[in-house]
Amino acid sequence: MTRPTLPHAHPTAIISAEANLPADVRIGPFAVIEGPITLGPGCVIGPHAHLIGPLTLGANNEIGSSAVIGGAPQHLGYKGEITSVEIGDGNVFREHVTVHRGMPVGAGPGTGVTRIGNRNFFMAASHVAHDCVVGNDVIFANAALIGGHVTVGDRAFISGNSAVHQFCRVGRLAFLSGASASSKDIPPFWVMQDVNYVRGLNLVGMKRAGMPPAERMAVRKAYRTIYMTRPALPLSVALMRIEAELGAFPAIQELVEFIRTSKRGICGAHRLVGTGDDDESVAA
């Protein structure tokens, strides 16, 4: 590969002639920039990082040492088709993070692209599988991973060593506790613990996001209606009650729509489920 002239690239870096790189990009020792790749201004590529195109990154992204962005999907049906990864601005990918490109369109539910938004923080050894969609301001702690086709809403927090099964959805401001796992959808604002259980509400996250107190209280009431009504209500009935009593709040509309459109179902209540009333139910 013919190396473009870049003043801040280490001489040991291998850079494809197909790459479209700004003059201010910083590329560390032994990094590999392979194939058709476009980087925005202000990007930093760490030592031994491997970027594989087709790949587009916006401005001010940081790629840590030995991270691999744009690798082939880990799927037995992948046969070398051209697919891609699209990444926005201001993301941090720390050491050994892996992000895989999409499965080809026509190969089952393949979309052809894995998409990541803006200002996300991926801690060391976290993983984003093929065809995932990650929103903005999401945090993946160390070794957190999401399977193929997972969608993660804005400002969600996926704690260390947590896993989300393929095709699941993680709602906005949801919080997955450490070493948890989910094969079901995790609604917005919920705190998930253990395997497929919810424990309470991400009250701190909602407050930090600027949600008004009245709206936070409405989410608490919705939570109690779903998990704490005795005798328990069928979910469809609980949602109708929530909508009738609290539907004026945008967060409630978001929550009800998320649950109603779930194809995998939502997580059930932990035996130690919090009330949503006070800090004892908060895991964030």
Angle at Cα 203 formed by Cα 199 and Cα 197, nearest 5°? Answer: 15
Q: Report helix, strand or coil for 256.
A: helix
Task: Enumerate the β-bridge partners of residue 103.
Answer: none
Return left, alpha or beta for 229; rule: phi > 0 is left, psi -120 to 50 is alpha, else beta: beta
Active-site residue, 185 included: no
Residues 6 or more apart from 117 whose CB is under 8 A from it? 88, 134, 135, 136, 138, 154
- Amino acid type, 225: T
- The CA distances from residue 123 to 68, 87, 107, 140, 222, in Å, are 13, 16, 31, 6, 33
Q: How far is CA 279 from CA 78, 199, 204, 271, in A?
A: 47, 12, 9, 18
Task: Determine which one of 50, 75, 130, 149 is catalytic.
Answer: 130
**Which residue is catalytic, options 100, 112, 131, 185?**
131
Q: Is 148 a catalytic residue?
A: yes
Q: Which of 88, 90, 135, 148 is catalytic?
A: 148
Active site residue 147: no
Which residues are identified as catalytic? 130-131, 148
